[in-house]
Structure 1
Amino acid sequence: MTDATPRWRLPFLAAGQAQKELTHNEALMLLDLLSNPCVEAVGVNAPPADPTPGQCWVVGDDPMGAWGGQARTLAAWTDGGWRFLSPHAGLSVWSRADRYRCHWDGDGWRRGLVPALAIHIDGKKVVGAQQPAVAIGGGGQVVDSEARLALKAVIGALQAHGLLASG
């Protein structure tokens, strides 16, 4: 048996272990970081001068100082110093500085992107896959009928995206 969980490396208690509270408290500290994670900023390379316990950051690609060697990890300040967690695909954090979600896709942090097949609001699709381009009318003899056809195509595309109701 290993001494930590496979994904997040949370420490296990060992049979007959002295001072089990240290191992248990370390696991709780890491779980606190992972539970609905909110970071101060994403892509920061230098640790802040005066962090408060509980504050977290996503370390940038070229970390320095106390964050050296911890590129792209989550860094959390605790009473016991810095704790670092390597992200796993699917981890999502809220960035206070940017005011949007960032997620780790296995290769890097994707900032402000929301991967989805469609977006539904109140059970109705409002955005879906991109539709083909709408042809632009050009220089015909009967401008009114061409304009109506172009508007009909635009309305049809907006309806296909769910941005306008069909009716």
Structure 2
Amino acid sequence: MTDFSPRLGLPYLQPSQAQKHVTVNESLAALDVHVQLVVQARDLATPPAAPNEGDGYLLPEGATGAWDGRAAAEIASWQDGAWTFRTPQAGWRAWCIADDTLLLYDGAGWASLFTADTDQGRLGIGTDTPAYTLDVGGLVASSGGSPGFYLVETDYAPDERIWRVTSGSGNFFVQTMNDAGTVAQQALVFTRSSTAVDSIRLLTEGTIALYIDSTQNVSVGHTSPSTRLHVNGPARVGQFAVGSLPDASVVGAGTIAYATDVVGGAQLVYSDGISWKTIRNGSDISE
């Protein structure tokens, strides 16, 4: 049997040991510090002049005074008028009062798990200074087989994943999922080359609704636009009575509309930037 416990290094009572209460009290004092570990600060390099009994600190690099020569990340606690030191083990957690931060010792140093900004109601994960209601200092990934994250509507069960944002095969996707979270359907796709977006696709019912290519040509209903606007099907413009047409100089030259009460019968009209004219013969609709 060893003299100390393997995890906290607490001294064991030995056979025929005198002054057993000293060993027991030493173990209790260590437990009082390290169970539900709370420290005052984690960046104080000089010991405080008047610490309170039981105060603890996580030592930084280059500590001085009574902490001089101690290893960074050690736990210093003030007990019975003196500093005692403990080396943490991987997995230990500590609450830092100065930062309102829960810390985890990963075997090399103390890392922040999350930070609660109680004044602003903000939660930070992996950051000490959350700037938003939820501020994640790093990537967010799903627990599934592909990278991404899920947004769940509040009126569904937790396992019913409704929206999925994911990145794979050089593309960025927004996908919808069924109520059971088992079938995904693309809704919005950004195809990229390096850091540039080459095309944007908007889909409904799994079919292309709108497509924008790298030259900013736009197609409706297909993915091969050959002009600035390429519609796979009939196109319809707005209908106006002549008196309701917008100002031709405001909408600009080249604008098309359908006028319902032009002299000679309803027809397409266009703006030349000054007035509206009929496509049929180019005459001003006011003539």
TM-score normalised according to structure 1 size:
0.70
For 2:78, the aligned partner's letter is: W
Which string of whole-angstrom CA distances, capped at 9 and with x for unpartnered residues, describes residues 109-162 of structure 1? 1124568976xxx98379xx983145264634369xxxxxxxxxxxxxxxxxxx
1 or 2 for the larger relative contact order (CA 8 Å, sep ≥6)?
1
Indicate how the Cα distance of structure 1 residues 141 and 117 shifts in structure 2: closer, same or farther if over 3 A, else same: closer
SS at match of 2:47: coil
Aligned to 1:3: 3
The whole-number CA distance in structure 2 between the counterparts of 1:3 and 1:66 is 27
Aligned to 1:141: 218
Identity %: 35
Indicate how the Cα distance of structure 1 residues 16 and 61 shifts in structure 2: closer, same or farther if over 3 A, else same: same
Indicate how the Cα distance of structure 1 residues 14 and 103 shifts in structure 2: closer, same or farther if over 3 A, else same: same
SS at match of 1:106: coil
Which string of whole-angstrom CA distances, capped at 9 and with x for unpartnered residues, describes residues 73-123 of structure 1? 1111112411211010000101111111111101111124568976xxx98
Which string of whole-angstrom CA distances, capped at 9 and with x for unpartnered residues, describes residues 45-68 of structure 1? 211111001111101121211112
For 2:53, the aligned partner's letter is: P
Indicate how the Cα distance of structure 1 residues 117 and 33 shifts in structure 2: closer, same or farther if over 3 A, else same: farther
Bigger share in helix: 1
The whole-number CA distance in structure 2 between the counterparts of 1:142 and 1:66 is 73
Alignment of structure 1 residues 12-91 onto 2, 5 Å: 12-71=12-71, 72-91=73-92
SS at match of 1:52: coil
Alignment of structure 1 residues 65-144 onto 2, 5 Å: 65-71=65-71, 72-112=73-113, 124=158, 131-132=166-167, 133-134=172-173, 135=190, 137=200, 139-141=216-218
Indicate how the Cα distance of structure 1 residues 38 and 48 shifts in structure 2: closer, same or farther if over 3 A, else same: same
SS at match of 2:57: strand
SS at match of 2:23: helix
Aligned to 1:153: none
Alpha-carbon RMSD: 3.2
TM-score normalised according to structure 2 size:
0.43
List gaps (5 residues or longer) in structure 2: 115-124, 127-140, 144-153, 174-189, 191-196, 201-211, 221-287
The whole-number CA distance in structure 2 between the counterparts of 1:23 and 1:13 is 7
The whole-number CA distance in structure 1 between the counterparts of 2:5 and 2:30 is 12
Aligned to 1:158: none
Question: Considering only CA atoms, is the larger Rg found in Structure 1 or Structure 2?
Answer: 2
List gaps (5 residues or longer) in structure 1: 144-167
SS at match of 1:41: coil
The whole-number CA distance in structure 1 between the counterparts of 2:39 and 2:165 is 32
For 1:95, the aligned partner's letter is: C
SS at match of 1:102: strand
